[in-house]
Structure 1
Amino acid sequence: MPISPKLLNEGENVVVSTRTHPKALLLPILALVLFLALGVAIMVLIDQEVVTLIGWIVAGLGILRYTVWPFLDWLTSYYTFTDRRLITRTGVLTRRGHDIPLSRVSDIEIELHIIDRLLGCGTLVISDASTHGRVVLPDIPHAEETKRKVHLLLHGQATEASSRDEGI
């Protein structure tokens, strides 16, 4: 899932671009199955057209709210690490985002629950020197590999900064 080139500065390169692991869609899929089962149960058990129609309308609204909306949110949300910053964008109608320069990142935590380890994902918690303090990136695919890549970027910036300081 490519990031829009208009979000990148001149000479800025994407290192990691990802969205939340498809694991986030398990509950919406379960909701879809339950609402479809509800619609079919009402249709089979109650033999009145008006009640069946109302049942399917309720099921349809439930599917829109608990299946389609989370899928759209998953589809339109992404996290990108460039060689200069972390870019997050989330939301369907209202877009929200963080842009954190890598030079401000002070710590990267990783949380891998048992299900996460089985599915190959995890949560990254990025701590920075701002008033917000932390950005939580849930269910990142290959979280350990992403953390290693970001550490390499941070180490590279620290090396460049110390090289500049020695040159003064």
Structure 2
Amino acid sequence: MSFPEDLLADEEEIVLHLRGHWKAVVLPAVVLVLAVTGLVTAWVLLPPSEGGRIGLLMVAGIVLYYGSRYGVGPLLRWWSTEYVLTTERLLVQRGMLARERRDLPLERVNDHVMTQSLVDRMFGSGTLTIDSIGDQTAVLAGIPAAQLVQNTLYELIETAPAPVIEDPAPAADRG
């Protein structure tokens, strides 16, 4: 997995570069295998008559719909979603043709929560919800090594420089 270095600021370094946990591709892969198996079975078992061809076209249509919706679609979403944690921000990037990228500066993070189901705990994955100042929330769903990511995020937030808040009123105007 490579991430374009030109998106990073000066002296900003990539700490973690993640994709969703591999368990997210198991069910779509099973759907694709079942879809191909069903299509091949229909092709072999249906008679070579006109009724058999109509039946094969119907099976092919059903397989194409369910295979693309529940097989190829989730696989492409998994493949095209990246989570990048740098020394200064969290980047969430989604999409292949149309791309959406969210940047969340670490200095604005005020809360992060990790949730794990029983299956997540068995695989070491989890969902990390990161809240920031200004009601901006980033959800990193199904990330591998969720506890490590949360600990790394905490360490980066603690070592990040505090934001400089400037007083808009000049010192002479204060009474």
5+ long unaligned stretches in structure 2: 166-175
Post-superposition shift, 1:61? 4.0
The CA deviation string for residues 48-71 of structure 1, in whole angstroms up to 9 with x for no partner, is 123213422431343233222221
Question: What is the TM-score with the length of structure 2 in the denominator?
Answer: 0.82
Is the counterpart of residue 56 in structure 1 residue 66 in structure 2? no
Q: Compare CA radii of gyration and give the structure with the larger one.
A: 2
Is the counterpart of residue 143 in structure 1 residue 134 in structure 2? no
Post-superposition shift, 1:40? 3.8
SS at match of 2:122: helix
Higher relative helix content: 1
Post-superposition shift, 1:28? 0.8
Identity among equivalent pairs (%): 32
Give the residue type in structure 1 aligned to 2:2.
Answer: P
**RMSD of the alignment, in Å?**
2.2
Give the residue type in structure 2 aligned to 1:38.
Answer: G
Post-superposition shift, 1:110? 0.4
Number of the residue aligned with 1:161: 162
Post-superposition shift, 1:44? 5.0
The answer to whether the Cα contact below 8 Å between 2:114 and 2:129 also exists between their aligned partners in 1 is: yes
Give the residue type in structure 2 aligned to 1:32.
Answer: L
Task: Decide which of 155, 167, 175 is 1:152's aligned counterpart.
Answer: 155
Number of the residue aligned with 2:103: 99
5+ long unaligned stretches in structure 1: none
Number of the residue aligned with 2:112: 108
Number of the residue aligned with 2:30: 30
* Aligned-partner Cα distance in 2 for 1:5–1:76: 18
Q: How many residues align?
A: 161
Post-superposition shift, 1:77? 1.0
